[in-house]
Structure 1
Amino acid sequence: MARLNLLEETRFEKLPVSVFDNPKTASLNVAQRIANLIREKQEKKQKAVLGLATGATPIAVYAELVRLHKEENLSFNNVITFNLDEYYPMQPDAAQSYVTFMKEHLFDHIDIPKENINIPDGTLSLEAIPAFCLDYERKIGEHGGLDIQILGIGRTGHIGFNEPGSAPNSGTRLVTLDDLTRRDAARDFGGKSFVPAKAITMGIGTIFKAREIILMAWNQKKASIIKKAVEGEISSEVPATYLQLSDHVEFILDKDAASLLTRFDTPWLVKDCVWEDKLIRKAVIWLANTLKKPILKLTEDDYNNHGMAQLAIERGPVYNINIHIFNKLQHTITGWPGGKPNADDSQRPERAEPAKKRVVIFSPHPDDDVISMGGTFIRLVDQEHDVHVAYQTSGNTAVWDDDALRFVEFSIDFAEKMGLDQKELENIYQNMRSFIAKKLPNQVDTPEIQSVKGLIRKGEAIAGARYCGLEDDHIHFMALPFYETGKNKKNPVTDLDIELTIELLQKVKPEQIFAAGDFEDPHGTHIVCFHIILEAMNRLRKTEEWAKDCWLWLYRGAWQEFDTHEIEMAVPLSPQELLKKKYAIFKHQSQKDRAVFPGDDSREFWERAEDRNRETAKAYDDLGLAEYEAMEAFVRWKF
């Protein structure tokens, strides 16, 4: 019976999928399977032939293999590896090369013979590539084929660098990279213009010959492409769908990457559910959006015809369900994000007391505060709460070189006009110009350039916070050490990052915290900053009473928005308030017109914020609630 139930739950899935609680657990599982293969082959005195992938996804797998080698004597003497791909052209010692990646994460830490390592050569002449690719295929065949092929998946659906349009029988070859793939790689290269346009990759046909294929994917960013690969029709537009044709494939996912699969996203379509309030809210909103009807107009037939008959029977009549969910949504809307004084707060998102709250708005980068919650920021100040803003990082890597020069040029001219000594400043300026003229992609800036860029963003952040109504002593610059490397790759978080956060929180003792929950930030800074806040609060809650009564609200906006069913506080903005928010964002001039790292959204940050806020308001309006110009959305973090 359990097997039949599982088959019913997964009936939309066209290949085997295993879902783990988190990437670490999943990675340990994959690493153990590889280790078991290596040991089995060793017992038979055979070679284990591995197809390996690069990128963020397999890093934890490689880390566990290194641990197994160092602590449990797993030998790689009998292992032969073939990497999936390499950028072209690419020098093997370049920071972005997959040779460098594999050495850093695996090969330099295990006992694999160097002659057993095979990675596509990014230094070949164009004329030499066809022969190299044929030889790569021949070598795989000579070793009996791949025992296990490890794969990640790109947001285009590529496996290896087999981009949309790739043939299912393709072999190792030179390919042109999709624009989205190059945009995703832009941060590693210091800008999309520096990302190679081509790559050498194993073909889909080559991958298919492996005796076992494991595709891994982590986090919400991969959820939409995973749904297409697992549940969609086979199409060259999503090359990973070709894996549906293999009898030897398994997708290994964490919960976030699997979240849009039918059994998790809309489980009522494939099984009976335990109808808790959160699931009812999600299902009713889904039904209303699917049918393009306000919630209060949904009928029993609507429920029955869309997999929700069980809900109608158990919790009906359906009109009562509709009213219940409508009221729940209505109660999320508030013009008082700090709580409404002298009001019944039993149905409000925030507490009425204390009437004037101490508030800390944490901003990972110097502009996230106004981009994501500028309207609420201004509202909190206008309603006379004691608001502080804390900029967690300098954001200095996201400033253009020519802006840095322009500000120093201004300083030189200012020094001359005021009769100040400018010789030392001119020397610094000339050194900056010389460095920038020869600067390599992703090269770390000199300390002087880092300082100038940081000061540019600091000045903009002060201007934005002042515009929102803050005094300077309520504006805090934390410069958390994990970020201040000058590189796109940041240091691991240490106790110092957490201690600096604890120090600020102890100084303010807030009743309310706002923090970025926008974990799709392509730089990864948002989620790191959030975990620092969380660890600081968890420590404080053990010893300090004020921390136990502090509420933490998450905001989004720069990179994504909360789904309607997730929203717990929606702050409506008038047209004038939305305009004022836009002006606050405009204070961040270095991020205007053209951001250094815009992600794959070509809109300016103010446009993204404005559009998302209007979309949130429209989502409420479509469900039959009051029509507002715009809304900022929040979810409360439960400690």
Structure 2
Amino acid sequence: MLTPTQSEKLPVSVYTDSEQASAAVARQIADLIRQRAAEGRNCVLGLATGSSPTRVYEELVRLHREEGLSFRNVVSFNLDEYYPMAPDSLQSYVRFMHEYLFDHVDIRPENVHIPDGTVPQEQVADYCRRYEEQIREAGGIELQLLGIGRTGHIGFNEPGSGASSRTRIITLDHITRTDAASDFYGEENVPRRALTMGVGSILEAKKIVLLAWGEGKAAVVKRMVEGEPTDTVPATYLQRHPAVQVVLDDAAGAELTQRKTPWLAGLPSNWQDEATVRKAVTWLARNLQKPILKLTDNEYNENGLSDLLAESGPAYSINIRVFNQLQHTITGWPGGKPNADDTYRPERAEPFPKRVLIFSPHPDDDVISMGGTLLRLVDQGHEVHVAYQTSGNIAVFDDEAIRFAEFVADYDEAFRLSGEQPAENLYHRVADFLKNKAPGQVDSDEVQQIKGLIRRGEAKSACRLAGVPDANAHFMDLPFYETGRVRKKPLGEEDIQLTMDLLNRIQPHQIYAAGDLSDPHGTHRVCLSAIMQAVQRLKAANTAWLQNCWVWLYRGAWQEWDIDQIEMAVPISPEELTRKRRAIFKHQSQKDRPLFPGADQREFWQRAEERNRTTAKIYDQLGLPEYEGIEAFVRWQY
């Protein structure tokens, strides 16, 4: 629980990661269920969908299976449903709830209530009124679980929803539909309307628990917790409820005042901690738009940093310390510079050359996120391996699959192959399936395989351009991903074992992994967990090679590390930025218009270059050397 200050208008609990947070919330729900069962009463729960509560549901299922938690006394009411939406559709919240929770516990079917996306239009108003009557007849919701959208919506209460709004049909905001596009294989397939409990309906719950994970939610969480109540951010109306708990992971809470700038919240700061000092000084310099070495005593005093100045001043001494720290993050030798004093370098000089293993969640994350560094590592003579953790097959347009199947068929015809011409049959099967494919339908195994091969070929081509041999490109096809759907399976033992096997085979001196949590599909988060669990198991087994291995985390196309977090900054020259762009262009199936672009509609190469140039610009503005671009990394101390 954060220390309450004047900044927060809601109680906030911040956990190290979403797994710990979800387990704590699941335990709270379980305790309530057991308490009501002991009293001979039903436990009425309000449930949410989306990525935020999935781990809570998984933990509740575990508690049911392993600790005997019964759901026989549970009555549930879900927040919302797309409209129109058949209950058996892949994207329906009926299906979601059954897949993640109801099919795995002993809840009575008659106690499950989810808005019906098949109600005729003329009956919707009456249906919504009846839904609220059912909640009242059940005794009201005791604990309401919520997530929060980027627009600040709770349920599907989009901006403009008032504090007294009730269960109703609503038109979805463009941003909400964009965020949902990946679930529907394109924004054009996302329903434009939904049924949702209103803000007023939600506020009638006895207790509310709101979940938010990842740095992508940090900005809207800050508005919800610290802003004034307004219908432009409906979640701010939670401030009017007497029993709300906001549960975050570190990343989602990063923008809160007492986490980002605790000195402004009146909280004591540990000025003996160099990371805290660096955060404060870089914040001050950026806030004043001044180079670090030009900050003055008065500017420290006038911006809430008088305690730092009194303890460690004068300003110039503090400035020099932080400036040197930032300067020491910059290196043109990401694998370490041989025969050089590495005292102030982010990487070791020895051994040289190093074996380097770059994990790429999707087949293009390596070149998008750290393509310049990859090129530098190869050019400087290191043995570079790239491990593509998933096939990425769901991110390929159908017409690409038809085009490649057609190529194989035409090739057969051109060379007059004897026999049945199986490739031509393949083309007809693929074309017929895709011609009759319904929006959101799972691809056939054959189509999934073709799409996976398309992305594999693109990844190989990018590796060749970077100078990585074909034998050093490893395609892991982790099982958790291979569902053919946006919704994946939980990380499993086989995923972790495959990761351990690859690590043991290569025995790298350096590992690079995607450390961001903002990937809209959640794949990056799962892939990172597989790596971390594999490394921790190898460490527990006293694996010898791991003692000389460092792990560096990069971020993907969605967001960059904050300047005070960066521990290795690799400058990218104009020529290297051009080479990086060419490597990204090798991923032609993602070119022009990615199937799942997320909230940012620009192409991946545009996002990557803008991010690299922005990081370089920040270093420049702080008084460090000026570069064309910079790729940033944080070391994971396992």
Normalised by the size of structure 2, how large is the TM-score?
Answer: 0.94
Code of the residue aligned with 2:546 in structure 1: it is: A
- Return the alpha-carbon distance in structure 1 between the equivalents of residues 59 and 493 of structure 2: 24
Instruction: Report the alpha carbon displacement of residue 17 of structure 1 after superposing the two structures with TM.
Output: 2.2
Report percent identity of matched pairs.
Answer: 59
- Return the alpha-carbon distance in structure 1 between the equivalents of residues 40 and 16 of structure 2: 36
* 1:295 aligned residue (274, 282, 292): 292
- Return the alpha-carbon distance in structure 2 between the equivalents of residues 251 and 590 of structure 1: 40
Code of the residue aligned with 1:619 in structure 2: it is: I
- Determine the structure 1 residue equivalent to 2:267: 271
* 2:510 aligned residue (506, 509, 512): 512
- Determine the structure 1 residue equivalent to 2:599: 600
- Determine the structure 1 residue equivalent to 2:577: 578
The 1:573/1:19 distance shift into structure 2, 3 A limit, reads closer
The 1:89/1:372 distance shift into structure 2, 3 A limit, reads same
Code of the residue aligned with 1:84 in structure 2: it is: L
Instruction: Report the alpha carbon displacement of residue 626 of structure 1 after superposing the two structures with TM.
Output: 0.9
**Is 1:379 matched with 2:376?**
yes
Is the 8 Å Cα contact of residues 21 and 247 (structure 2) preserved in structure 1? yes
- Determine the structure 1 residue equivalent to 2:433: 435
- Return the alpha-carbon distance in structure 1 between the equivalents of residues 27 and 511 of structure 2: 41
- Return the alpha-carbon distance in structure 2 between the equivalents of residues 347 and 483 of structure 1: 41
**Is 1:353 matched with 2:362?**
no
- Return the alpha-carbon distance in structure 2 between the equivalents of residues 538 and 141 of structure 1: 49
The 1:416/1:467 distance shift into structure 2, 3 A limit, reads same
- Return the alpha-carbon distance in structure 1 between the equivalents of residues 506 and 17 of structure 2: 34
**Is 1:332 matched with 2:329?**
yes
Is the 8 Å Cα contact of residues 90 and 440 (structure 2) preserved in structure 1? no
Q: How many residues align?
A: 634
1:204-243 matches, cutoff 5 A? 204-243=199-238
Is the 8 Å Cα contact of residues 157 and 229 (structure 1) preserved in structure 2? yes
- Determine the structure 2 residue equivalent to 1:393: 390
* 1:154 aligned residue (149, 165, 178): 149
Code of the residue aligned with 2:225 in structure 1: it is: V
Instruction: Report the alpha carbon displacement of residue 55 of structure 1 after superposing the two structures with TM.
Output: 2.2
Is the 8 Å Cα contact of residues 401 and 436 (structure 1) preserved in structure 2? yes
Instruction: Report the alpha carbon displacement of residue 340 of structure 1 after superposing the two structures with TM.
Output: 1.4
- Determine the structure 1 residue equivalent to 2:121: 126
* 2:13 aligned residue (18, 22, 30): 18
- Return the alpha-carbon distance in structure 2 between the equivalents of residues 505 and 20 of structure 1: 29
SS in 2 for 1:366: coil
Instruction: Report the alpha carbon displacement of residue 529 of structure 1 after superposing the two structures with TM.
Output: 2.2
The 1:326/1:12 distance shift into structure 2, 3 A limit, reads same
Normalised by the size of structure 1, how large is the TM-score?
Answer: 0.94
Q: Which moved more, 1:521-530 or 1:38-47?
A: 38-47
Q: Which moved more, 1:227-236 or 1:407-416?
A: 407-416
- Return the alpha-carbon distance in structure 1 between the equivalents of residues 292 and 309 of structure 2: 14
Instruction: Report the alpha carbon displacement of residue 44 of structure 1 after superposing the two structures with TM.
Output: 5.3
The 1:570/1:75 distance shift into structure 2, 3 A limit, reads closer
The 1:108/1:466 distance shift into structure 2, 3 A limit, reads closer
Give the unaligned 5+ runs of structure 2: none
The 1:15/1:401 distance shift into structure 2, 3 A limit, reads same
- Determine the structure 1 residue equivalent to 2:481: 483
The 1:118/1:75 distance shift into structure 2, 3 A limit, reads same
Code of the residue aligned with 1:563 in structure 2: it is: D
Give the unaligned 5+ runs of structure 1: none
Is the 8 Å Cα contact of residues 281 and 292 (structure 2) preserved in structure 1? yes
- Determine the structure 2 residue equivalent to 1:614: 613
The 1:26/1:555 distance shift into structure 2, 3 A limit, reads closer
* 1:93 aligned residue (77, 88, 92): 88
- Return the alpha-carbon distance in structure 2 between the equivalents of residues 32 and 341 of structure 1: 52
Is the 8 Å Cα contact of residues 360 and 388 (structure 2) preserved in structure 1? yes
SS in 1 for 2:407: helix
1:42-53 matches, cutoff 5 A? 42=37, 45-53=40-48
- Return the alpha-carbon distance in structure 1 between the equivalents of residues 106 and 377 of structure 2: 59
Is the 8 Å Cα contact of residues 557 and 608 (structure 1) preserved in structure 2? no
Is the 8 Å Cα contact of residues 518 and 558 (structure 1) preserved in structure 2? no
The 1:67/1:530 distance shift into structure 2, 3 A limit, reads closer
Code of the residue aligned with 2:84 in structure 1: it is: P
- Determine the structure 2 residue equivalent to 1:284: 281
- Return the alpha-carbon distance in structure 2 between the equivalents of residues 121 and 383 of structure 1: 60
SS in 1 for 2:609: helix
- Return the alpha-carbon distance in structure 2 between the equivalents of residues 34 and 312 of structure 1: 46
- Return the alpha-carbon distance in structure 1 between the equivalents of residues 333 and 170 of structure 2: 55
SS in 1 for 2:82: strand
The 1:507/1:143 distance shift into structure 2, 3 A limit, reads closer
Instruction: Report the alpha carbon displacement of residue 172 of structure 1 after superposing the two structures with TM.
Output: 0.9
- Return the alpha-carbon distance in structure 1 between the equivalents of residues 297 and 333 of structure 2: 36
- Return the alpha-carbon distance in structure 2 between the equivalents of residues 634 and 566 of structure 1: 9
Code of the residue aligned with 1:134 in structure 2: it is: R
Code of the residue aligned with 2:144 in structure 1: it is: Q
1:432-581 matches, cutoff 5 A? 432-541=430-539, 542-581=541-580
The 1:80/1:494 distance shift into structure 2, 3 A limit, reads closer
SS in 1 for 2:451: helix
- Determine the structure 1 residue equivalent to 2:158: 163
Is the 8 Å Cα contact of residues 412 and 424 (structure 2) preserved in structure 1? no
- Determine the structure 1 residue equivalent to 2:364: 367
Instruction: Report the alpha carbon displacement of residue 77 of structure 1 after superposing the two structures with TM.
Output: 4.5
Is the 8 Å Cα contact of residues 614 and 629 (structure 1) preserved in structure 2? yes
The 1:285/1:145 distance shift into structure 2, 3 A limit, reads same
Instruction: Report the alpha carbon displacement of residue 186 of structure 1 after superposing the two structures with TM.
Output: 2.0
Instruction: Report the alpha carbon displacement of residue 72 of structure 1 after superposing the two structures with TM.
Output: 5.4
Deviations 1:299-337 (A, max 9, x none): 111111112111111111111110111111111111111
Instruction: Report the alpha carbon displacement of residue 69 of structure 1 after superposing the two structures with TM.
Output: 4.9
Instruction: Report the alpha carbon displacement of residue 67 of structure 1 after superposing the two structures with TM.
Output: 4.8
SS in 2 for 1:329: helix
Q: Which moved more, 1:221-230 or 1:536-545?
A: 536-545
Is the 8 Å Cα contact of residues 557 and 612 (structure 1) preserved in structure 2? no
